[in-house]
Structure 1
Protein backbone atom coordinates (compact mmCIF):
# COMPACT_ATOMS: atom_id res chain seq x y z
CA UNK A 1 0.00 0.00 0.00
CA UNK A 2 2.92 2.38 0.65
CA UNK A 3 4.05 2.03 -2.97
CA UNK A 4 0.51 2.45 -4.26
CA UNK A 5 0.11 5.66 -2.26
CA UNK A 6 3.25 7.10 -3.90
CA UNK A 7 1.47 7.08 -7.27
CA UNK A 8 -0.45 10.20 -6.26
CA UNK A 9 2.83 12.11 -5.90
CA UNK A 10 4.73 10.78 -8.90
CA UNK A 11 1.98 10.66 -11.54
CA UNK A 12 2.57 6.97 -12.23
CA UNK A 13 0.18 4.18 -13.00
CA UNK A 14 -0.38 0.75 -11.47
CA UNK A 15 -1.37 -1.83 -14.06
CA UNK A 16 -3.47 -4.25 -12.02
CA UNK A 17 -2.60 -7.90 -12.50
CA UNK A 18 -4.96 -10.84 -12.09
CA UNK A 19 -2.39 -13.29 -10.66
CA UNK A 20 -4.43 -15.35 -8.19
CA UNK A 21 -1.78 -15.29 -5.44
CA UNK A 22 -1.75 -11.49 -5.56
CA UNK A 23 -5.51 -11.01 -5.31
CA UNK A 24 -6.70 -13.83 -3.03
CA UNK A 25 -5.29 -14.52 0.45
CA UNK A 26 -6.25 -18.22 0.41
CA UNK A 27 -4.33 -18.75 -2.85
CA UNK A 28 -1.33 -16.84 -1.50
CA UNK A 29 -1.35 -18.90 1.69
CA UNK A 30 -1.72 -22.18 -0.23
CA UNK A 31 1.26 -21.28 -2.41
CA UNK A 32 3.37 -20.49 0.65
CA UNK A 33 2.36 -23.77 2.26
CA UNK A 34 3.15 -25.71 -0.92
CA UNK A 35 6.58 -24.07 -1.13
CA UNK A 36 7.25 -24.98 2.50
CA UNK A 37 6.17 -28.57 1.86
CA UNK A 38 8.39 -28.75 -1.21
CA UNK A 39 11.38 -27.51 0.82
CA UNK A 40 10.59 -30.01 3.58
CA UNK A 41 10.36 -32.92 1.15
CA UNK A 42 13.56 -31.88 -0.65
CA UNK A 43 15.40 -31.83 2.68
CA UNK A 44 13.95 -35.23 3.70
CA UNK A 45 14.92 -36.85 0.39
CA UNK A 46 18.05 -35.02 -0.82
CA UNK A 47 19.24 -37.94 -2.94
CA UNK A 48 15.83 -38.85 -4.31
CA UNK A 49 14.25 -35.89 -6.15
CA UNK A 50 11.72 -38.21 -7.82
CA UNK A 51 10.37 -39.26 -4.41
CA UNK A 52 10.14 -35.62 -3.34
CA UNK A 53 8.21 -34.77 -6.53
CA UNK A 54 5.89 -37.76 -6.04
CA UNK A 55 5.17 -36.87 -2.41
CA UNK A 56 4.58 -33.23 -3.35
CA UNK A 57 2.06 -34.40 -5.96
CA UNK A 58 0.34 -36.43 -3.22
CA UNK A 59 0.31 -33.37 -0.95
CA UNK A 60 -1.18 -31.26 -3.76
CA UNK A 61 -3.91 -33.86 -4.34
CA UNK A 62 -4.72 -33.83 -0.62
CA UNK A 63 -4.60 -30.01 -0.49
CA UNK A 64 -6.17 -28.70 -3.72
CA UNK A 65 -5.40 -25.12 -4.64
CA UNK A 66 -8.20 -22.66 -3.94
CA UNK A 67 -9.45 -20.58 -6.85
CA UNK A 68 -9.54 -16.83 -7.10
CA UNK A 69 -12.66 -15.37 -8.72
CA UNK A 70 -13.99 -12.39 -10.62
CA UNK A 71 -15.07 -10.98 -7.26
CA UNK A 72 -11.44 -11.08 -6.09
CA UNK A 73 -10.32 -9.22 -9.22
CA UNK A 74 -12.95 -6.53 -8.72
CA UNK A 75 -12.07 -6.16 -5.02
CA UNK A 76 -8.37 -5.90 -5.91
CA UNK A 77 -9.03 -3.20 -8.50
CA UNK A 78 -11.15 -1.31 -5.98
CA UNK A 79 -8.41 -1.53 -3.35
CA UNK A 80 -5.77 -0.19 -5.74
CA UNK A 81 -8.09 2.66 -6.66
CA UNK A 82 -8.80 3.43 -3.00
CA UNK A 83 -5.09 3.69 -2.20
CA UNK A 84 -3.52 5.00 -5.43
CA UNK A 85 -6.45 7.05 -6.74
CA UNK A 86 -8.52 6.80 -9.89
CA UNK A 87 -5.89 8.63 -11.95
CA UNK A 88 -3.23 6.01 -11.24
CA UNK A 89 -4.78 2.68 -12.14
CA UNK A 90 -5.01 0.59 -15.30
CA UNK A 91 -5.76 -2.97 -16.33
CA UNK A 92 -2.65 -5.11 -16.69
CA UNK A 93 -4.16 -8.58 -16.79
CA UNK A 94 -1.04 -10.78 -16.85
CA UNK A 95 -2.66 -13.65 -18.73
CA UNK A 96 0.66 -15.37 -19.38
CA UNK A 97 3.13 -16.86 -16.97
CA UNK A 98 0.61 -18.20 -14.46
CA UNK A 99 -0.67 -21.73 -13.94
CA UNK A 100 -4.26 -20.65 -13.35
CA UNK A 101 -6.37 -17.54 -13.61
CA UNK A 102 -9.38 -16.47 -11.56
CA UNK A 103 -12.71 -18.12 -12.33
CA UNK A 104 -14.51 -16.06 -15.03
CA UNK A 105 -11.28 -14.14 -15.78
CA UNK A 106 -9.46 -16.66 -17.96
CA UNK A 107 -8.99 -14.38 -21.00
CA UNK A 108 -9.47 -10.85 -22.27
CA UNK A 109 -13.17 -11.54 -22.84
CA UNK A 110 -13.46 -11.00 -19.07
CA UNK A 111 -12.87 -7.26 -19.38
CA UNK A 112 -16.54 -6.43 -20.06
CA UNK A 113 -17.52 -8.51 -17.01
CA UNK A 114 -14.96 -6.71 -14.86
CA UNK A 115 -15.98 -3.26 -16.09
CA UNK A 116 -19.67 -4.11 -15.73
CA UNK A 117 -19.14 -5.17 -12.14
CA UNK A 118 -17.24 -1.95 -11.39
CA UNK A 119 -20.11 0.07 -12.90
CA UNK A 120 -22.52 -1.85 -10.66
CA UNK A 121 -20.28 -0.86 -7.75
CA UNK A 122 -20.71 2.83 -8.58
CA UNK A 123 -17.82 3.60 -10.91
CA UNK A 124 -18.70 6.42 -13.31
CA UNK A 125 -18.20 6.34 -17.07
CA UNK A 126 -15.25 8.71 -16.60
CA UNK A 127 -13.70 6.33 -14.04
CA UNK A 128 -14.10 3.37 -16.39
CA UNK A 129 -12.49 5.30 -19.25
CA UNK A 130 -9.51 6.16 -17.05
CA UNK A 131 -9.08 2.54 -15.94
CA UNK A 132 -9.54 1.15 -19.45
CA UNK A 133 -6.92 3.30 -21.13
CA UNK A 134 -6.99 7.05 -20.51
CA UNK A 135 -4.59 6.80 -17.56
CA UNK A 136 -2.12 4.78 -19.62
CA UNK A 137 -2.33 7.28 -22.48
CA UNK A 138 -1.63 10.14 -20.04
CA UNK A 139 1.45 8.38 -18.68
CA UNK A 140 2.71 7.51 -22.17
CA UNK A 141 2.28 11.12 -23.30
CA UNK A 142 4.40 12.15 -20.32
CA UNK A 143 7.05 9.60 -21.28
CA UNK A 144 7.06 10.93 -24.84
CA UNK A 145 7.42 14.51 -23.58
CA UNK A 146 10.45 13.60 -21.48
CA UNK A 147 11.95 11.73 -24.41
CA UNK A 148 11.50 14.72 -26.70
CA UNK A 149 13.07 17.02 -24.12
CA UNK A 150 16.17 14.80 -24.04
CA UNK A 151 16.80 14.41 -27.78
CA UNK A 152 19.38 17.21 -27.94
CA UNK A 153 21.44 15.73 -25.11
CA UNK A 154 24.45 13.60 -25.90
CA UNK A 155 24.44 10.17 -24.31
CA UNK A 156 26.63 9.79 -21.25
CA UNK A 157 29.53 7.69 -22.45
CA UNK A 158 31.35 7.56 -19.13
CA UNK A 159 32.07 4.18 -17.63
CA UNK A 160 32.55 3.03 -14.12
CA UNK A 161 36.11 2.04 -13.32
CA UNK A 162 36.51 -1.72 -13.36
CA UNK A 163 37.61 -2.84 -9.92
Structure 2
Protein backbone atom coordinates (compact mmCIF):
# COMPACT_ATOMS: atom_id res chain seq x y z
CA UNK A 1 0.00 0.00 0.00
CA UNK A 2 1.53 3.36 -1.01
CA UNK A 3 2.14 5.97 1.66
CA UNK A 4 2.56 9.73 1.50
CA UNK A 5 6.21 10.72 1.67
CA UNK A 6 8.40 13.71 1.51
CA UNK A 7 10.44 13.84 -1.64
CA UNK A 8 14.03 12.65 -1.04
CA UNK A 9 17.02 11.28 -2.94
CA UNK A 10 16.71 7.51 -3.28
CA UNK A 11 12.92 7.49 -2.95
CA UNK A 12 10.67 6.12 -5.65
CA UNK A 13 7.47 8.12 -6.07
CA UNK A 14 4.33 7.90 -8.14
CA UNK A 15 2.62 11.12 -9.18
CA UNK A 16 -0.67 11.44 -11.10
CA UNK A 17 -0.65 13.42 -14.36
CA UNK A 18 -2.10 16.50 -12.67
CA UNK A 19 0.53 16.41 -9.91
CA UNK A 20 3.61 17.30 -11.93
CA UNK A 21 4.85 19.38 -14.84
CA UNK A 22 6.99 18.45 -17.85
CA UNK A 23 5.29 15.23 -18.95
CA UNK A 24 2.09 13.38 -19.78
CA UNK A 25 0.33 10.63 -17.86
CA UNK A 26 1.23 9.32 -14.42
CA UNK A 27 4.90 9.37 -13.47
CA UNK A 28 6.88 6.84 -11.44
CA UNK A 29 10.29 8.32 -10.65
CA UNK A 30 13.35 7.11 -8.78
CA UNK A 31 14.81 10.36 -7.42
CA UNK A 32 18.54 10.98 -7.87
CA UNK A 33 18.59 14.70 -7.06
CA UNK A 34 16.32 17.25 -5.40
CA UNK A 35 17.20 20.53 -7.10
CA UNK A 36 14.85 22.83 -5.19
CA UNK A 37 11.70 22.88 -3.05
CA UNK A 38 9.41 25.86 -2.69
CA UNK A 39 5.92 27.30 -2.85
CA UNK A 40 4.28 27.75 -6.23
CA UNK A 41 0.62 28.46 -6.93
CA UNK A 42 -0.24 27.95 -3.25
CA UNK A 43 1.32 24.49 -2.92
CA UNK A 44 4.73 23.01 -2.12
CA UNK A 45 6.55 21.87 -5.27
CA UNK A 46 9.89 20.12 -5.77
CA UNK A 47 12.15 20.31 -8.80
CA UNK A 48 13.55 16.80 -9.23
CA UNK A 49 15.96 14.86 -11.39
CA UNK A 50 15.71 11.10 -11.61
CA UNK A 51 15.01 8.02 -13.68
CA UNK A 52 11.55 7.01 -14.78
CA UNK A 53 10.62 3.50 -13.66
CA UNK A 54 9.22 1.26 -16.40
CA UNK A 55 6.20 -0.98 -15.67
CA UNK A 56 8.52 -4.02 -15.42
CA UNK A 57 10.54 -2.30 -12.69
CA UNK A 58 13.59 -1.39 -14.79
CA UNK A 59 14.84 2.16 -14.99
CA UNK A 60 14.96 4.25 -18.11
CA UNK A 61 18.58 5.11 -18.55
CA UNK A 62 17.98 8.70 -19.60
CA UNK A 63 17.54 11.04 -16.66
CA UNK A 64 14.58 13.37 -16.65
CA UNK A 65 13.45 16.44 -14.80
CA UNK A 66 10.07 16.86 -13.18
CA UNK A 67 8.43 19.66 -11.24
CA UNK A 68 6.35 17.71 -8.69
CA UNK A 69 3.64 18.88 -6.33
CA UNK A 70 4.85 17.33 -3.07
CA UNK A 71 1.39 16.62 -1.62
CA UNK A 72 0.53 14.59 -4.76
CA UNK A 73 3.67 12.39 -4.59
CA UNK A 74 3.17 8.94 -3.09
CA UNK A 75 5.96 6.56 -2.07
CA UNK A 76 5.92 3.25 -3.89
CA UNK A 77 7.73 0.02 -3.22
CA UNK A 78 10.65 -0.73 -5.48
CA UNK A 79 9.86 -3.86 -7.53
CA UNK A 80 11.88 -6.84 -6.36
CA UNK A 81 13.20 -7.35 -9.89
CA UNK A 82 14.80 -3.91 -9.72
CA UNK A 83 16.19 -4.27 -6.20
CA UNK A 84 18.03 -7.49 -7.15
CA UNK A 85 19.68 -5.95 -10.19
CA UNK A 86 21.26 -2.53 -10.15
CA UNK A 87 20.81 -0.39 -13.22
CA UNK A 88 23.69 0.97 -15.29
CA UNK A 89 23.13 4.65 -14.50
CA UNK A 90 25.69 7.31 -13.54
CA UNK A 91 26.38 8.25 -9.95
CA UNK A 92 27.28 11.82 -9.20
CA UNK A 93 29.69 13.49 -8.77
CA UNK A 94 32.02 10.59 -9.70
CA UNK A 95 30.29 9.73 -13.01
CA UNK A 96 30.90 6.04 -12.47
CA UNK A 97 28.32 3.35 -13.22
CA UNK A 98 26.10 2.49 -10.25
CA UNK A 99 26.00 -1.19 -11.24
CA UNK A 100 29.52 -2.03 -12.35
CA UNK A 101 31.62 0.84 -11.01
CA UNK A 102 33.47 1.70 -14.21
CA UNK A 103 33.46 5.07 -15.96
CA UNK A 104 29.95 5.86 -17.20
CA UNK A 105 28.65 5.26 -19.82
CA UNK A 106 29.74 1.65 -19.48
CA UNK A 107 29.11 -0.87 -22.26
CA UNK A 108 25.72 -1.89 -20.87
CA UNK A 109 24.62 1.75 -20.62
CA UNK A 110 25.76 2.42 -24.19
CA UNK A 111 23.72 -0.53 -25.47
CA UNK A 112 20.60 0.63 -23.61
CA UNK A 113 21.05 4.21 -24.85
CA UNK A 114 21.48 3.04 -28.45
CA UNK A 115 18.31 0.97 -28.14
CA UNK A 116 16.35 3.78 -26.50
CA UNK A 117 17.41 6.30 -29.17
CA UNK A 118 17.51 3.91 -32.12
CA UNK A 119 15.22 6.14 -34.18
CA UNK A 120 16.76 9.47 -33.15
CA UNK A 121 20.57 9.39 -33.07
CA UNK A 122 20.87 13.23 -33.14
CA UNK A 123 18.80 13.43 -29.93
CA UNK A 124 21.13 10.87 -28.32
CA UNK A 125 24.14 13.00 -29.26
CA UNK A 126 22.55 16.13 -27.78
CA UNK A 127 21.62 14.25 -24.59
CA UNK A 128 25.15 12.86 -24.20
CA UNK A 129 26.72 16.26 -24.90
CA UNK A 130 24.56 17.74 -22.13
CA UNK A 131 25.72 15.03 -19.70
CA UNK A 132 29.32 15.56 -20.81
CA UNK A 133 29.03 19.27 -19.96
CA UNK A 134 27.58 18.41 -16.53
CA UNK A 135 30.39 15.90 -15.89
CA UNK A 136 32.99 18.50 -16.89
CA UNK A 137 31.61 20.80 -14.18
CA UNK A 138 31.49 18.09 -11.50
CA UNK A 139 34.69 16.10 -12.07
CA UNK A 140 38.03 17.37 -10.71
CA UNK A 141 40.30 18.85 -13.37
CA UNK A 142 43.74 18.77 -11.78
CA UNK A 143 46.47 16.17 -11.71
CA UNK A 144 47.88 13.81 -14.32
CA UNK A 145 45.04 11.30 -13.93
CA UNK A 146 42.26 13.85 -14.02
CA UNK A 147 38.96 12.16 -14.94
CA UNK A 148 37.96 15.11 -17.15
CA UNK A 149 40.50 14.12 -19.80
CA UNK A 150 38.80 12.57 -22.82
CA UNK A 151 35.22 13.38 -21.84
CA UNK A 152 34.16 14.03 -25.45
CA UNK A 153 35.33 10.56 -26.48
CA UNK A 154 33.83 9.02 -23.34
CA UNK A 155 30.41 10.65 -23.64
CA UNK A 156 29.76 11.63 -27.25
CA UNK A 157 32.10 10.19 -29.89
CA UNK A 158 31.00 6.58 -29.51
CA UNK A 159 27.37 7.50 -30.27
CA UNK A 160 27.91 9.22 -33.61
CA UNK A 161 26.37 7.45 -36.57
CA UNK A 162 28.86 5.47 -38.61
CA UNK A 163 29.03 5.20 -42.34
Could you tell me the TM-score, scaled by structure 2's length?
Answer: 0.28
Structure richer in strand, relative to its length: 2
| Larger RCO of the pair (alpha carbons < 8 Å, separation 6+) | 1
Could you tell me the TM-score, scaled by structure 1's length?
Answer: 0.28
Structure richer in helix, relative to its length: 1
